[in-house]
Structure 1
Amino acid sequence: MSATRRLALALLWLAVLALFALLVAPRVQVSGDLRKFMPAPRTPAQKLLIDELGEGPGSRLLLVALSGEPPDVLAVQSQALRERLLSARSAVDHPFKLVTNGADLGLDAIPERLRPYRYLLSPTLDTQRFDAAFLRTQLDARVQDLGSPAAGLIEPLLPSDPTLETLKLAEAWQPANAPQRLHGVWFDRAGREALLAIETHAAGFDPEGQQKAVDAIHSAFAAVSVNTRTQLTLTGPGAFSVEIGGRTAREASLIGMLDSLVFVLLLWVAYRSWKAPLLGGLPLASAGLAGLGAVALAFDGVHGITIAFGFTLIGVVQDYPIHLFSHQRAGMSPWASARALWPTLGTGVASTCIAYATFLVSGVDGLQQLAVFTVVGLATAALATRFLLPALIDPSPHDAADSAWLARAWSALARWPRLGASGAIALAALAIAVVTFAPGAVWQNDLARLTPVPPAALARDAQLRTELGAPDVRYVIAVQASDTEAALRASERLMPALATLRTEGAIAGFDLAARYLPSAATQRERQSRLPTDDALRSQLRDAMHDGPFADDAFTDFLADVARARAAAPLAPHDLAGTPLAASVEGLLLSRDGRATALVALTGLDDVDAVARVAQANGAQLLDLKQASESLVAAYRERVLWALALASVLLAAAVWFALRSPRRVLRVLAPMALTTLLILAVLRGAGIELNLFHLVSLILAAGLGLDYALFFDHAGDDRAEQLRTLHAVIVCSLTTLLVFALLAASSIPVLRAIGGTVALGVAFNFVLALLIVRAPVREGDDADA
């Protein structure tokens, strides 16, 4: 085939890839939801944790601190910032559900349309009736209020609310541990930072929605802080996800560019041709696009971790064209060379695909995505190398077996002592001893340890949460019920016991939805205590007798009571658009036909006492930290079972291909020893093993299997051994550099993958030489 025709075919291949990319791109919806990498929750605490991780108000909360100017200036800027963020609230795509800085938690917490409901929401009617005696007492108190400094606040309320139920509710609804208010807005205890709490419509793991919210906050801050020294601090899951996403994209871009440069340089040096890197990149691009397209078609969204891990397949996939290039020689067409390599290459590909396919039965969506991406990507690259790439290769290549430096290297390696059975067993025993007896925890169960957020940023976030009086993030009381009404009634029954716990010092405070929204039953009971129009007029007339108020002073009060008496009880959806909505939504969950009322706790001092009280009242104290650790443990168990099954299937695939017990053991030994050595090095270095270390072990095993299979394929033919050595050196160098760059990443997930596979490359290369390499035939070395 002429050079022109080969070039045309290469361009056609590129055009097909470009067209496929255009078709796949619209279907790729990238997700950052960590729940996709979690097994199905089983316990109530696990279910709550999974819901809160993805959709709960906690995942949507952004915390803002303004500092750098005097408190009065910061207060003005806080108000201006809040107003700007809410100014476009009517827009369909407005990113904020709630923006509060303490100024809106007074009377504004009760919008005008809900004012008549104050008699149903306030506990006054639980102990009082609107009779003449009570009303007279209230009116006398109002006369005194009008002569006090609070007159300006009281006077507008008086015509419709002589008992000040609105004010009582506003005070009762203040957060239990709310920060202090200076100049009408929240400040930290030191009075140096103005604080705001913002709830977004987008969930914490919605990168696009959170990016929009973060951009809107920065834009609004820039407008309100012109010509001042004010500084903005923004924390919370959404802010962190934006930061992580940006950093991950930057690092991935840098690592990708460096990987590509390394790949191009190594292949150019190794094959003395500018065509080799270009042709070698075609199977890689085909693998990536095929894997991504398969996941996009098979799943609802592609997880970012799937893409990040999936594209590390370059460490395996790049080996396929390299083996084909290195085994080219004069007198043998590329097609014949590909046919000769295929049994060995196909065995390695099939074995690795079988290993990853075990994740399809894991029951975890994220692992299933990894399996589909990997299997489709590997198979595509292998088939492209076998059936497409030979058509593009120069039929008159340079033979690696003629390399003088390679011959010297092989002669030096031939003098290395072989690792026999006894040596392999001793090395395995040593590795097992290190793994078993190394100090420190073996497994990393803390999900927070996988976050790349700097410790200083996490500490700042914790500080702001403390300043804002955020509840305990580990423990929460959950009341399960059939619907929201039953959940509210059950939590109301729990309130006296919680008050007792607070009095006894077991907790410093608590918060629950029933504080803001009583059950419909309680609201109806209070309605029944409201007097009729005629009765209330009579009682009010008696209370006003000889008083300072005009006869028609409280017409609005009579009208509000009449509306309250006829109104349907308030439901959670009636609070939409009010400051109360965020409080109730965060503490009253309704999903899958069930409802859960949560009790947020502050200052928890006696866990056992709280657990007993909760259980005695039909509730449950949930430990979310323990729930997260149990989820990680369950996930790890599934991964370990998948690894065990993968090991069996991989060994079976190698046996099917080689049909010789001795050869099978010799090929599998480097891979098995490498796995033990990787674990020993990680444990010896004090690194706790996480889920991504385990998943990466399969990738490392696939590389080791390829090295061992090709050394076994070379047999004792010196020329073939030289070609194999050339291929494995180029493969291992490119792979080692790729994963060494990942190991240097600041992203813990990428660091775990990179470090594990880089160790695997080094150990697999050395052990394949020590165990699988066959002795050179007598006289071959002398002939060289």
Structure 2
Amino acid sequence: MSLRLKHSLTLGLWLTVVLLAIYSITQTRFTADMSAFLPASPSSEQQLLVDQLQQGAVSRTFLVGIEGGTDEQRAEASRQLHASLVDDPAFAAIQNGDRAHHEQARQFLFEHRYLLSPAVDAERFSVEGLNSAIGKSIRELNSPLGDVTRELFPRDPTGEMLALLDRHDPSSGPARCCVVWSSADQSTMLLVAQASASGSDTDGLARASQRIKNTFDTIRDDIDPSLHLAIAGSPMFAIEARDRIKAEVTLFSIISVILVTLVLLLAYRSLPVLLAGLLPVGSGVAVGIAMVGLGFDEVHGITIGFGTALMGEAIDYSIYYFVQSRQVGMDSDGQGAGQSAWLRDYWPTVRLGLVTSLIGFAALLFSGFPGLMQIGLYAMTGLLTAALVTRYVLPILGPRLPRGDIAGLGRRLERPVAEMRRLRPVAMLLGGLAVVVLVFQQDGLWRDSLSGLAPIDPALEATDTRLREELGSPSPRHLIVVKGEDRETALRAAEHVTSILDQQVEDGLLAGYRSPTETLPSLATQRARQTALPAGKELEQRLEQALVDLPVSPDRLQGFVDDVARQKKAAAMELADLEGTPLWLAVAGHLPSDAAAGQALAVITLHTDDTTPQEMAVLREAITPVESAVLIDLLTESNRLYARYLNTTLVVSLAGAAAIVLLLLIVQASPRRTLRTLLPITLAVLLVVAGHALFGGQLTLLHLVGLLLVAAIGSNYALFFQPPPGQSNGLDARTLASLTLATTTTVCAFGVLAFSSVPVLQAIGATVAPGALAAWLLAAIFATPAARPLPDMTGQT
């Protein structure tokens, strides 16, 4: 095969791969959903937690406040906003406490009271039971509830409706002003809107949020321009995090590209060389994104941000090539003499550094977090592509490109770098101090919660807290999730759990709970209650006996007899019967179904503000008879889940480090040389970790990603500063200049991320930028002096 044909095939293959990658990218979905940092393959219990974080009712419920204007203007805006959104398909339910909807809920409860009331059983409708229940209602005619009791008494003498109102009436909820929900001081009118989109569909939640804002803007213009909207809730945190990630990824990517481009243009002083040097980076970015898209069906914005900064390392390969080789003509292979010499003397070192980087990033593929797995796959495919383009494409293009020589920079640095070897004792002392710091702070070194990953706007957090307090709707922490083969099975199991919880409430171990079975009992329970209702004639006979010693005649209770007869024959309630009523919001979100898994869930929310951990342990033990019920502490379990995956990632990272050590031992065939190669890398990692421990707070999974990249970058530096025996490319001018330029581009690319307000990006930037600089300094400090100067391959000075 002729050299020209070989080059043509190489360029053709490269262009084909890049074009296919670009096409794949155009078909890829991009996301900024922080759920990428939830586990990919959770256990069954962990899946319950993940489902609640992604699809639970709380994850898609907006809290809305209307402020400004007069009381009546705010109330009118609340009513109009509710009317505009109640039939909008973007929302599953919306409530503002309007009296009409309150009455609608009361009417539904009243019409189904004998199917809903837990007091309904055969004993309740015996002669003795009726006498006792009716007698109690008569006594309550003189109580504060006398007016309500008097109104209901002819049709509900046993008091079932009052018992239901104790659980369902919103009187214990938000305050009211102008017959709608308001804050206690009546300065804010309140609404609750539950989106139809799942909590993991950030785009759908964003559309719902925008729908609320746009509708309110129209209403405000009609009523009073001084009105303004406050909107919070879990969906707003997800939307705000997504928008901030998108904005900052875009901003810092542009800044990184500009900085790196300016540095390279200043160094190369040639636009063609600059563009050629960006080919490995561009190819790596395209292939990396395409591979992530193919492997995960979507690409996270943080992966893009990391990838843009990763060009700081990927660009190193072309820097090594262009700086360490200079063409002055063609050799026998048709390549420049400098290119051939670089492939012979330097490529093996670059290749070894590449392999160590790939091993390090491979650890992320086993982290269990899709976000980290994406970064690992991106880094591996991107770096490999950049290195291969440098190895096979640039030598074809290189002889045709004029470029300046920055060896002068290297020559000016040779003496200072040589003097840096005097700092070895200082470096070892700093390393020792870093170890001491880590020993004393090891317990709190790693953050064991998910809270440090997502960006949180303090103003939004304050608004959320305020609206929740006014609504009387604290964010639930403790849930009991009951699984069943279908909804009926889940509801029956949930009823078993609630019977246990009732005892816990009575014993004072639990403040209360909300269960979907309060509004939608199982079919079996409804039929049992219907069976307990006596037929019309039988009920009339029992009433005559029960009312003998009570001051009420049977004729006055004919409405009661008719209602019992009607509900005894009525069809059992289904979830669909609640749709369109204010009760839907309280039930539907707590009865999710997973058709793919062939199961249904019932979610019971616990009121546990004052419940101690010891009492929660008792509660957990109490529900063990219900095998399908799981008590979930959302905060504790999410932190435990995160800590488990952090430990897993640390273990696989250490395994990757061990594999790198083994590889170096095999390739370098000298434990002493391997130790000298690993020493600056290890010290750089130790110093960065100690620096974070002293000044930057706790480390997260993303700091670990940064440390892996520090090790990858540091391995390249250390290998160049520790050439194999007999190889002359030690601290010669061009090697030093190329490493200095590579370090500069890396610090520029990652340094800008340190100023990000997104914790994930900031963690990577604040780790890699100082880590890369430390790796270069330490590699120079522990460098092996060159055996002899590198011959000038250009014939020029």
Task: Determine if the TM-score, normalized by the shorter chain, exceeds 0.5.
Answer: yes
What are the ranges of 5 or more consecutive residues in structure 1 without an aligned counterpart?
1-5, 89-93
Please provide the CA RMSD for this pair: 4.1
- The alpha carbon displacement at 1:444 in A equals 1.0
Query: Structure 1 residue 129 and structure 2 residue 148: aligned?
Result: no
Match of 1:642 in 2: 652
Match of 2:528 in 1: 525
- The alpha carbon displacement at 1:337 in A equals 5.0
Specify the code of the residue in structure 2 equivalent to 1:598. Answer: I
Q: Cα 1:139–1:175, aligned 2, differ >3 Å: closer, same or farther?
A: closer
Match of 1:255 in 2: 252
Specify the code of the residue in structure 1 equivalent to 2:210. Answer: D
Q: Cα 1:312–1:566, aligned 2, differ >3 Å: closer, same or farther?
A: farther
- The alpha carbon displacement at 1:262 in A equals 1.1
Match of 1:488 in 2: 494
- The alpha carbon displacement at 1:358 in A equals 2.8
Of residues 776, 780, 787, the one that matches 1:769 is 780
Specify the code of the residue in structure 2 equivalent to 1:484. Answer: A
Q: Cα 1:600–1:140, aligned 2, differ >3 Å: closer, same or farther?
A: closer
Specify the code of the residue in structure 1 equivalent to 2:31. Answer: V
- The alpha carbon displacement at 1:595 in A equals 4.2
Of residues 233, 238, 263, the one that matches 2:235 is 238
Match of 1:676 in 2: 686
Secondary structure of 1:125's match?
A: coil
Alignment of 1:618-657 (within 5 A): 618=624, 622-657=632-667
- Aligned residues of 1:33 and 1:206 also touching (Cα < 8 A): no
Specify the code of the residue in structure 1 equivalent to 2:33. Answer: G
Query: Structure 1 residue 107 and structure 2 residue 103: aligned?
Result: yes
What are the superposed Cα offsets for residues 275-309 of structure 1, whole Å, 9 maximum, x if unpaired? 23322222222112211221222224334443333
Secondary structure of 1:64's match?
A: strand
Match of 2:85 in 1: 85
- Aligned residues of 1:328 and 1:397 also touching (Cα < 8 A): no
Distance 2:632 2:21 in 1: 49
Of residues 393, 408, 415, the one that matches 1:411 is 415
Distance 2:608 2:790 in 1: 82
Query: Structure 1 residue 30 and structure 2 residue 31: aligned?
Result: yes
Secondary structure of 1:435's match?
A: helix
- The alpha carbon displacement at 1:560 in A equals 5.5
Secondary structure of 1:66's match?
A: strand
Match of 1:223 in 2: 218
Distance 1:263 1:139 in 2: 81
Match of 2:332 in 1: none
Query: Structure 1 residue 360 and structure 2 residue 370: aligned?
Result: no
Q: Cα 1:363–1:255, aligned 2, differ >3 Å: closer, same or farther?
A: closer
Q: Cα 1:338–1:34, aligned 2, differ >3 Å: closer, same or farther?
A: farther
Match of 1:199 in 2: 194
- The alpha carbon displacement at 1:385 in A equals 1.3
Match of 1:294 in 2: 291
Distance 1:29 1:416 in 2: 46
Distance 1:724 1:399 in 2: 15
Query: Structure 1 residue 179 and structure 2 residue 179: aligned?
Result: no
Task: Tell me the number of residue pairs that the alignment of Structure 1 and Structure 2 aligns.
Answer: 760
Give % identity: 32
Q: Cα 1:21–1:718, aligned 2, differ >3 Å: closer, same or farther?
A: closer
Tell me which moved more, 728-737 or 169-178: 169-178
Distance 1:364 1:399 in 2: 45
Tell me which moved more, 559-568 or 68-77: 559-568
Query: Structure 1 residue 728 and structure 2 residue 739: aligned?
Result: yes
Of residues 747, 768, 771, the one that matches 2:758 is 747
Of residues 469, 472, 476, the one that matches 2:472 is 469
- The alpha carbon displacement at 1:56 in A equals 1.0
Distance 2:310 2:749 in 1: 10
Q: Cα 1:549–1:392, aligned 2, differ >3 Å: closer, same or farther?
A: farther
Match of 1:91 in 2: none
- The alpha carbon displacement at 1:51 in A equals 2.0
- The alpha carbon displacement at 1:770 in A equals 1.0
- The alpha carbon displacement at 1:318 in A equals 1.3
Distance 1:11 1:69 in 2: 68
- The alpha carbon displacement at 1:553 in A equals 12
- The alpha carbon displacement at 1:469 in A equals 1.7
What are the ranges of 5 or more consecutive residues in structure 2 without an aligned counterpart?
1-6, 329-335
What are the superposed Cα offsets for residues 194-245 of structure 1, whole Å, 9 maximum, x if unpaired? 1111111223332211111111010111011113311211112211221122
Secondary structure of 1:87's match?
A: coil
Secondary structure of 1:685's match?
A: helix
Secondary structure of 2:573's match?
A: coil
Distance 2:218 2:727 in 1: 75
Alignment of 1:22-61 (within 5 A): 22-30=23-31, 32-34=33-35, 36-38=37-39, 40-42=41-43, 44=45, 46-61=46-61
- The alpha carbon displacement at 1:610 in A equals 4.9
What are the superposed Cα offsets for residues 658-705 of structure 1, whole Å, 9 maximum, x if unpaired? 333333222222111111111111112151111111121111111111
What are the superposed Cα offsets for residues 706-765 of structure 1, whole Å, 9 maximum, x if unpaired? 112223349885897211122112111111011111001011111100000011111011
- Aligned residues of 2:59 and 2:234 also touching (Cα < 8 A): yes
Distance 1:623 1:136 in 2: 42
Query: Structure 1 residue 117 and structure 2 residue 128: aligned?
Result: no
What are the superposed Cα offsets for residues 580-614 of structure 1, whole Å, 9 maximum, x if unpaired? 33323444555543645424215324443354255
Distance 1:390 1:639 in 2: 38
Match of 1:685 in 2: 695
- Aligned residues of 2:36 and 2:300 also touching (Cα < 8 A): no
If the length of structure 2 is used for normalisation, what is the TM-score? 0.84
Match of 1:511 in 2: 514
Distance 2:250 2:38 in 1: 24
Query: Structure 1 residue 345 and structure 2 residue 350: aligned?
Result: yes
- The alpha carbon displacement at 1:562 in A equals 4.4
Match of 2:185 in 1: 190
Distance 2:301 2:750 in 1: 18
Secondary structure of 2:420's match?
A: coil
Q: Cα 1:401–1:61, aligned 2, differ >3 Å: closer, same or farther?
A: closer
- The alpha carbon displacement at 1:248 in A equals 1.6
- Aligned residues of 2:365 and 2:372 also touching (Cα < 8 A): yes
